[in-house]
Amino acid sequence: MAPDRVVVLGKIAGTFGVLGWVKVTSFTDPLDNLLQYPVWQLRRSGTWSVAKLEASRLTGKGVLAKLKGIDTPEDARVLIGTELGVWRHELPATRPGEYYLSDLEGLEAVTASGEPLGKIDHFRTTPSATVAVIRNDGGHPERWVPFVKERIVQVDLVAGRVVLDWPADL
């Protein structure tokens, strides 16, 4: 696990007002957790750059942010769709038995009987649950496995493996 990678916490979804504020889709729980970081990393065209949070607020409709140097709606509009994140080492430490989903990306996924499912590529949030998207190099298409406590048998970060209660033939 590389401690100095950027962990995506949200994306810029739109503009707000005439002073360059942006609407942010937050992937954190609660939504405003990402506002505790004064410096964000923004990914545009595959490259990360630094952005400083100048002001922010949580509204009934979501998160708004004002980034330093973004002063007009035109400046803000260019950022729509940009992912935002922070360095992994800036996130709070986890307690034993806890982990960040981003720490599981790239780990091997196996069934409870040890059959390989593939590697966890990323996670998706659906209305009913978070889903682990698992890919393998074999002939099986990607699998979407509900990442809920009933399906998680073991997470072993040291071994680089996640054991799931999921059949290999699905």
14-30, pLDDT tens digit by residue?
Answer: 999 999 999 999 988 88
Same domain, 53 and 107: no
Q: Residue 135, class by beta-carbon neighbours within 10 Å (0-12 exposed, 13-18 middle, 19+ buried)?
A: middle
Kindly state whether residues 82 and 108 are assigned to the same domain: no
What pLDDT does 146 receive? 94
Domain end among 63, 90, 117: 90
pLDDT digits (tens, 9 = 90+) for 117-135: 999 999 988 888 889 999 9
Predicted confidence band at 139 (pLDDT cuts at 50, 70, 90)? low
Residues 156 and 117 in one domain: yes
Q: Is pLDDT above 80 for 76?
A: yes
Number of domains in the chain: 2
In this structure, is residue 10 part of a structural domain? yes
pLDDT over threshold 90, residue 87: yes
- Return the pLDDT at 3: 56
**Same-domain check for residues 114 and 83:** no
Q: Which of 122, 85, 127, 130 is nearest to 106 (CA)?
A: 122
| Mean pLDDT value across residues 138-160 | 89
Q: Verify that 112 and 146 share a domain, yes or no.
A: yes
Do 12 and 73 lie in one domain? The reply is yes
- Residue 96 falls inside a structural domain: no
d(CA 149, CA 114): 18
For residue 77, how many other CB atoms are within 10 A of its CB?
14
Question: Distance between the two ends of the chain, CA-based, in angstroms?
Answer: 29
Phi and psi, residue 2, nearest 5°: -85, 115
The domain containing residue 12 runs over which residues?
A: 6-90
